[in-house]
Structures are given as structure tokens and as C-alpha cells.
Amino acid sequence: MKNGLRAILARSTIWLPYLWLLIFFLAPFVLVAKLSLSEPAIAQPPYIPAMRFLDGPIGWWADIKRFSIGNYLFITEDSLYWKSYLSSLRIAIISTFLTLAIGYPLALGMARAPRAWRPTLLMLVILPFWTSFLIRVYAWIGILKKEGLLNQLLLWVGIISEPLTILNTNVAVYIGIVYSYLPFMVLPLYANLERQNQTLLEAANDLGCTNRAAFWKVTWPLSMPGVIAGCFLVFIPTVGEFVIPSLLGGSETLMIGRTLYDEFFQNRDWPVSSAVAVILLMILLVPIMLFQRSEARARSRGQ
């Protein structure tokens, strides 16, 4: 008896978190998928359930026959949705490249800084990651506003004679994304660059490579795993981003996270927002799988 209890307790390391995730992670997804197949209603909650658990097996079959793909058809017909998906992907791709362009020199500088400095520099990259995302995005509003500090500075220097409109445009969204996700790019890059064998560069130099050529022939190709990991870590969450487009973006900024949010909270169309979520998930599944595969490959190579 006591042993049986102990075995159950030992197994609880598995089933306790397992059960939790089944209830609070997997089941909700099934509900989203189910709701995306049902019809909206003016009621509370605002939809007609596509399938009721209490109906029993016979009822379930009837329910399944009632499933409608109307919400998905609606999404393909209304240009707002596919434009949002495409625009999200475009914004995510552009900002991933911008983050790489800014993050790479920083990671390289950190990795080549004197050894004693490196832990401090690493800490300085991680620290913003701990401070609130919302606050970091908010901080840019005061800078990018028409009468904001950036415009004041540029006017004072004399680069521009009229204040620029940056806030509530896509430019502000790019700045916000690059700023918020920079640590995600720098950390894997730094981890890779810091480990690189310095003697390879010396060999390249001895063989007559300039520093620049040695970088493109040695450092850059070797840093590919870090580049790939960093790009995925920025790209994947950016596609579904909500806070940045809604605080820094304007009416022209279409991003699917924001469209879903508005669909849910303003139009109160739960079935359509569920269908939007299902499609977003399917789009993200590809990069997520690619990322996990490249991580697994990197891990097996490391060992």
C-alpha cells in the first residue's frame, strides 16, 4: 500500500504537469478549432456551439455533420484577413533582417571584447529582456512623436526643417520590433561567436586574407547556426505581435495579431477570430518545425 502510494507520487512528476498542460493548453486548442467551425450568434457567449459534449456519441455525429467552414470561406473572401497575414509576414521578415543587421555587430563586438568584460556585457543584453515589454514599447512613443525628442534633435541639428511623422507608421513598428527583439537575436549570435576558434582567423590572415575577407570567409559562415537561431527567435513571435503594432503602428499597419484582437473585442465575432487563430497557427507551424529541426541538428552536432 505504502509502496503503491510512493509509486504514484514518483509518477506525479510526470502526470501533474502533464494533466495541467492537457487541460490548460491542449484542450483550449481543441475548443478553438471547434469554435472556428461553428456559426456566430447574437447571444452570450456569442456563438452556436458546433458540438456539445452532452449530446452523446449519436448527437456528436449530428453535430459533426453540422460543422461549417463558413468562417474560413469568409476569411478568404474578405481581403482584410489575407492582407493582414501577408503584411504580418512582410513586416516580420523585414524586421528580422533589420534586427540581424543591428544585432550582428553588437554580438561580434561583445564576443571580441576583453574576456573580463564579457559577463557584464552579456548581463547588459539580458537586462532589457527582463524589463517589461510594454514599457519598452511605450518608451518609444515619447521619442517618435511629432513633437518628440527625435524630431527635436533632428531639427536642432538641422538635418530636417519640418518634423517627421514617424509614430503611427510602419517605420515606428520596425523600430519597436527591432528594439524589443534585439536581445533574442544577440544572445544566440554571441553564444556562437564567442565559441569560435580564433586561430582560424589568424590562419586566414597568415594566408593573406584582409580582415574583411577573413570575416566573410571564416567568421560569417561559421556563425550560420547562430544567425538561423536568432532569426527564428525574432521571426516567429513577431508574426503574431500585438502590442507593438497597436501602440506604435497606424491605420496602415495591418498585422494579424491586431486584426484577431479587434475581431474578438470590437466585432465580438468569436467564431471568425477562432478561424483566424487556426490559420495563424498553421502558418507558424512551418517555421516552428524548421526551427526545432535545426536546433535538434545543432544539439546532435555539439555532442
Report 154-173 residues binding another protein (CB under 8 A): none
Site map (CB under 8 A) of another protein, residues 211-240, x = contact: x------------------------xx-xx
Q: Which stretch binds another protein (CB under 8 A): 62-70, 73-81, 105-113, 156-164?
A: 105-113
Q: Directed axis angle between helix 27-35 and helix 270-302, to 10°?
A: 140
- What backbone phi and psi angles, to 5 degrees, belong to 48? -95, 120
DSSP string, 56-109: HHHHHHHHHHH---HHHHHHHHSHHHHHHHHHHHHHHHHHHHHHHHHHHHHHHH
Least Cβ distance, residue 73 to another protein (angstroms) = 20
Nearest distance in Å: CB 161, another protein:
19
Closest CB 133 distance from another protein, rounded Å: 5
Q: Give the one residue of 93, 100, 102, 171 binding another protein; rule: CB under 8 A.
A: 102
Q: Choose which of 1, 3, 4, 10 interacts with another protein (CB under 8 A).
A: 10
In the DSSP assignment, the letter for residue 40 is E
Return the range that interacts with another protein (CB under 8 A); candidates 4-12, 58-66, 156-164, 220-228: 4-12
Q: Smallest gap, in angstroms, from Cβ of residue 277 to another protein?
A: 5
- In the numeric block, the cell 516552428 is attached to 288
Among 179, 188, 218, 245, binds another protein (CB under 8 A): 179
- CB nearer to another protein: pick between 25 and 77: 25
Shortest distance (Å) from residue 288 CB to another protein: 6
Segment interacting with another protein (CB under 8 A) among 57-65, 66-74, 140-148, 158-166? 140-148
Using an 8 Å Cβ cutoff, are 118 and 110 in contact?
yes
**Does the footprint of another protein cover residue 142 (CB under 8 A)?**
yes
Alpha carbons 170 and 140: distance in angstroms, whole number: 14
- Residues of span 41-100 touching another protein by CB under 8 A: 45
Indicate which single residue of 79, 161, 198, 199 sits in contact with another protein (rule: CB under 8 A): 198
Cα–Cα distance, 67 to 160 (Å, whole number): 58
Site for another protein in 106-135 (CB under 8 A): 106, 108-110, 112-114, 121, 123-128, 130-135
Q: What minimum distance in Å lies between the beta carbon of 241 and another protein?
A: 8
Q: CB 53 → another protein: shortest distance, Å?
A: 9
Does 292 bind another protein (CB under 8 A)? Our answer is: yes
- The residue count for binding another protein (CB under 8 A) is 90
| Cβ 234 vs Cβ 226: under 8 Å | no
Residue 268 to residue 256: CA distance in whole angstroms: 16
Residues 6 or more apart whose Cβ sits within 8 Å of residue 280: 85, 239, 240, 256, 257, 260
Nearest by Cα to 259 from 93, 83, 31: 83
Q: Which of 68, 165, 205, 294 binds another protein (CB under 8 A)?
A: 205
Give the cell for residue 84.
493582414
Position among 98, 173, 234, 241 found at the interface with another protein (CB under 8 A): 241
User: How many whole angstroms from its chain centre is CA 90?
Assistant: 13
